[in-house]
Structure 1
Amino acid sequence: MTTNKFNIHAQKQEYPGSDAQLEPQAEFISENYLGSRKLVGKVALITGGDSGIGRSAALHFVKEGAEVAITYLKDSEVEKVDAEWVKQWVENEGGVCRIYPVDLRHSQEAKDLVAQVLSDFKKINILVNNAGTQYPNDDLATLEDEQWLDTFATNVHSMFYLTKATLPHLEKDDVIINTSSVNGYLAPGNMVDYSTTKGAQISFTRGLANQLLKRGIRVNAVAPGPVWTPLQPATLGQFNPEFVENYGGNSPMERCAQPSEMGPTFVYLASSDSSFITGQTIHPNGGMMVGG
């Protein structure tokens, strides 16, 4: 596939969007992906694991032998449907998956989530901070304070809260993976608040990696380029429907990625294959050249 052409009229999704309603449907794991037991005995907690990149990470982890705990946005019926799909898929594969409705913008909910996951699984070995949001805006003067604060609460504060709550339970050779974005580097003018949070996530990754070196816990980030997820029509599509029609077409590969093209990157960072990598960011972005 060299280009994407999506039917913008089929993308009338409301925030936060749903994989079940995405048209065309996204691919989360390729049919020929064969796991090689890289994560046997591991428990992974993945925020936003109901859809998009988080769902792909969860499916790939299960193929590698991990058990997965995934979160979805509390009070969102469409995300609940998506999360239940993941749980059913995992169980059909003979794996273990539990789903947790939560609003990680609140510190206590992060603490309660970790306590529940530990009760259910007895341990956490892999933390994937993936949940996020975006609200396009092309004029800072009209960017509402509430939007700025909510973008930071969802993308940055939740990452801090959940990582802080999880850290006492991580041991040597456990890992943290943060989902950032190419926009943390390119910073498009219509996503100032979002890009700022994505830059903050990169610095959080680097600083935390240095802090945890002595404990043998690795911390890395993934900074995807355009990926076909429900967040795109539910946010960018509301801002500019025509943008969705050729989503990712301006990238060097002239297309967006499928979530299935992200999952293996998370497997690499979660496994011992990346044992000498920490504080780094991997850039599956279709050939965009970025600094850092």
Structure 2
Amino acid sequence: MNDKTLPAQHQDRQPGLEHAMHPEPVYLSDSYRAADKLAGKVAIITGGDSGIGRAVAVHYALEGAKVALVYLDENEDAQKTVDEVTRHGSEAIALAGDVGDAGFCQCVVDAVIAKWGRLDILINNAGEQHPKEDLLELEEADWERTFRTNILAMFQLTKVALRHLQSGASIINTSSVTAYKGNPMLLDYSSTKGAITSFTRSLAINLAPRGIRVNGVAPGPIWTPLIPSTFSADKVAEFGADTPLGRPGQPSEVAPAYVYLASNDASYMTGQMLHVNGGSVVNG
């Protein structure tokens, strides 16, 4: 593959920093038209400082929701997202910590209830990955850390949040095209995303009698800080070129799927995955 889609670049820390990317991701399209689809609702968004999380936060603000942004330690990016939510007429709080820690998950939900007195939407979006060309190179500690961040944290935060979610609430989990296609260099990440897909389907059945819908989004190659902080500069330069559309997607092209799934427009949707992936047919 020789197609160049982005300037070559790399960041040495994960999670990556959105303000250090060039070009920075697009988190809101000029063509987006809000319609108060989430008016009065309160949402928690993990990984909410940047990338898909930032885009979802801004779209939710435009639709009338208040948002709690959960992130690790990317304070500058998180503040930018808070500022954007406020600029678009809503309210936000930013909560820094490790979602892999059950105590922190409890603190997140407690803070949201103390601030707004309710919780309507939970977006489990935080994730990490450690590319290796050979399974023998993948350390057990990295494998366990990826599972802790990507799926154990999802279980922990959802369990705490459920005490406050009422009928009509929505849980949306971020899976990945790698759960369906696999990825030879992302063994840990792909495995967690497969678990997330199964967790989403099973939890949807479990919570259907309570009127709580559980769905997911399985993005393809999206231009977020996770990309330059994961891959070499050469691979970043070709990111997304192998999709039928021949380019990576922008967070602004994914966020409307999260709006739809959280809104009443998706009242008959549960246990489903939306595939925003540039044209890859995965039949899942």
Query: By the TM > 0.5 criterion, same fold?
Result: yes
Greater per-residue helix proportion: 1
Q: Is 1:7 aligned with 2:7? A: yes
Matches within 5 A, 1:105-254: 105-237=100-232, 241-254=233-246
Taking the aligned partners of 2:70 and 2:241, their CA distance within structure 1 comes to: 31
Normalised by the length of structure 2, the TM-score is 0.97
The secondary structure found in structure 2 opposite 1:165 is helix
The secondary structure found in structure 1 opposite 2:172 is strand
CA contact (8 A) 1:135 1:236 kept: no
Q: Which runs of 5 or more structure 1 residues have no equivalent in the other structure?
A: none
Taking the aligned partners of 2:186 and 2:110, their CA distance within structure 1 comes to: 35
Normalised by the length of structure 1, the TM-score is 0.94
Letter in 1 for 2:14: Y
Which one of 252, 269, 272 corresponds to residue 277 of structure 1? 269
Deviation at residue 4 of structure 1 after TM alignment: 5.5
Deviation at residue 67 of structure 1 after TM alignment: 0.7
CA contact (8 A) 1:178 1:201 kept: yes
Deviation at residue 109 of structure 1 after TM alignment: 1.1
Aligned partner of 1:288 in structure 2 is 280
Aligned partner of 1:41 in structure 2 is 40
Aligned partner of 1:30 in structure 2 is 29
Deviation at residue 13 of structure 1 after TM alignment: 4.5
CA contact (8 A) 2:10 2:231 kept: no
CA contact (8 A) 1:130 1:179 kept: yes
CA contact (8 A) 1:175 1:219 kept: yes
Deviation at residue 219 of structure 1 after TM alignment: 0.0
CA contact (8 A) 1:4 1:256 kept: no
Taking the aligned partners of 2:11 and 2:59, their CA distance within structure 1 comes to: 29
Taking the aligned partners of 1:235 and 1:173, their CA distance within structure 2 comes to: 37
Per-residue CA shift, 1:101-137, capped at 9, x if unaligned?
Answer: 0211111111111111111111110000000001101
Question: After the TM superposition, which parts of structure 1 deviate over 2 Å for at least 4 consecutive aligned residues?
Answer: 10-14
Q: Is 1:62 aligned with 2:54? A: no
Deviation at residue 168 of structure 1 after TM alignment: 1.0
The secondary structure found in structure 2 opposite 1:71 is strand
CA contact (8 A) 1:48 1:70 kept: yes
CA contact (8 A) 2:79 2:94 kept: yes
CA contact (8 A) 2:221 2:277 kept: yes
Letter in 2 for 1:203: S
Number of aligned pairs? 282
The secondary structure found in structure 1 opposite 2:220 is coil
Letter in 1 for 2:222: V
The secondary structure found in structure 2 opposite 1:7 is coil
Aligned partner of 1:51 in structure 2 is 50
Per-residue CA shift, 1:164-217, capped at 9, x if unaligned?
Answer: 000010000100000010001111111111100000000000000000010000
CA pair 4-270 structure 1, distance change in 2 beyond 3 A: farther
Taking the aligned partners of 1:4 and 1:93, their CA distance within structure 2 comes to: 34
Matches within 5 A, 1:261-276: 261-276=253-268
CA RMSD of aligned residues (A): 1.1
The secondary structure found in structure 1 opposite 2:173 is strand
Q: Which runs of 5 or more structure 2 residues have no equivalent in the other structure?
A: none
The secondary structure found in structure 2 opposite 1:176 is strand
The secondary structure found in structure 1 opposite 2:58 is helix
